[in-house]
Amino acid sequence: MAGVTDVAFRTLAKKYGAGLTYTEFLSSSAIVRGSKKTLSLVKTDPIEKPVAVQLFGHNIKEVIQAAKLVENKFDIIDINCGCPAWKVIKTGAGSAMLNDPDKIATFVGKIVSAVNIPVTVKIRSGIDAKHINAVDVARKIQDAGASAVAIHGRTQKQGYRGNADWKIITKVKEEVDIPVIGNGDVFTPEVFEKRLEESGVDAIMIARGAIGNPYVFTQIKDYIKTGEYDSKDKKEQFDEYLNLARKYNIPFLTIKTQAISFTKGTQGGAPLRNKLGVTKMLRQLEKVMEK
Ligand SMILES: Cc1cc2nc3c(=O)[nH]c(=O)nc-3n(C[C@H](O)[C@H](O)[C@H](O)COP(=O)(O)O)c2cc1C
């Protein structure tokens, strides 16, 4: 997740039981240009095994070049064909790629041939309710040599509105042989178990459910094993994040956003967030969090 899954956050998610972590989506052209900001996001922690780098771009030459530049640091190259943000789709990247499944297949085929690690793709269910094409896209992705497909059960048009359609995810699982990773609206261990059983997917990807609560991965694992789970104090989780953020020189503004997320759902969280919002440096932020 852009602005969320920095290396410190991912390390914590991994420690708490995530099976696979991904960088936020990185612009292939920024990597090729040597953008310092983007390259700072390529850092990983040794605990992250396996770890995926997610790339986006509309220019196949650039995406291949970017993939080759970073592949030695990662176990998987994931191609973003799901982002609905205007600044991404106006260039033809992200979920705009769903308009042309053959183009996705060509992209995937060329990237698979160019790199030495597995290539996976993240898609949405389609462009809009009238153009649901995830099954067709997933088949083409598979035939082009991808090692897995992740599908968020919403259309590009939906953005984050409405509900994720797990029926289409189930259909994709029925129709392809490569591993299918289902994604959308899984916030609790109970829903995780239900979705896993109903859809038969090989894995479930959790995004918003981990924001401010990376401990959700432990909760899920415990629930699957024992039928029970506990919760972990948000301040304790944030302190662990902060230690890692210091180690990895995460920028202050990112830490501030994370701190605000960790206060969500806590008692007195709203006034705390107002105070955090006006902090200008780490020491100030820490004082607010201590209180
Ligand atoms: C803040 C934020 C940033 C995101 N950034 C990315 C991204 O960089 N790459 C990506 O594939 N999806 C991204 N997503 C989408 C999520 O990966 C996921 O598909 C979506 O949130 C649905 O899953 P959920 O219901 O578990 O949140 C982002 C979502 C959020 C909320």
Q: What is the mean pLDDT of each run of 10 residues along the chain (291 residues)?
A: 98 98 98 96 96 97 98 98 96 96 96 98 98 98 98 97 98 98 98 98 98 98 98 96 97 97 92 95 95 82
Domain for residue 119, yes or no?
Answer: yes
Note the pLDDT of residue 102: 96
What does the pLDDT read at residue 20? 98
Beta bridge partners of 182: 151, 204
What's the structural domain count of the chain? 2
Q: Same structural domain for residues 264 and 152? A: no
For a pocket test of ligand 1, which of 53, 78, 152, 217 has the largest count of ligand atoms closer than 8 A to its C-beta? Answer: 152
Residue 190 shares a structural domain with residue 256: no
Tell me, yes or no, whether 24 and 160 share the same domain.
yes
Domain annotation covers residue 92: yes
Q: What is the pLDDT at residue 262? A: 96
pLDDT reported for residue 19? 97
> What CA–CA distance (Å, rounded) separates 168 from 106?
24
**Domain that residue 285 falls in:** 234-290
Q: How far is the CA of 208 from the centre of ligand 1 (A)?
A: 7
- Check pocket membership of 23 for ligand 1, CB cut-off 6 A: no
Q: What amino acid positions are annotated as catalytic residues?
A: 83
Query: Where a domain ends, among 205, 226, 261?
Result: 205
83 shares its domain with 173: yes
- Residue 291 confidence (pLDDT): 82
Residues 201 and 260 in one domain: no
Q: Which of 25, 149, 208, 264 to mutate to test the pocket of ligand 1 (most atoms within 8 A of CB)?
A: 208
Domain termination site, one of 189, 205, 221: 205
**Closest CA to ligand 1's atom 29:** 1
287 Cα to the center of ligand 1, angstroms = 31
Q: Are residues 139 and 100 in the same domain?
A: yes
Is the Cβ–Cβ distance between 212 and 264 less than 8 Å?
yes
Same domain as 165, residue 87: yes
* Residue partners of 7: CB distance under 8 A and separation at least 6: 43, 44, 45, 48, 244, 248, 250
The answer, yes or no, to whether any atom of ligand 1 lies below 6 A from the CB of 122, is yes
Atom 3 (ligand 1) nearest CA: 1
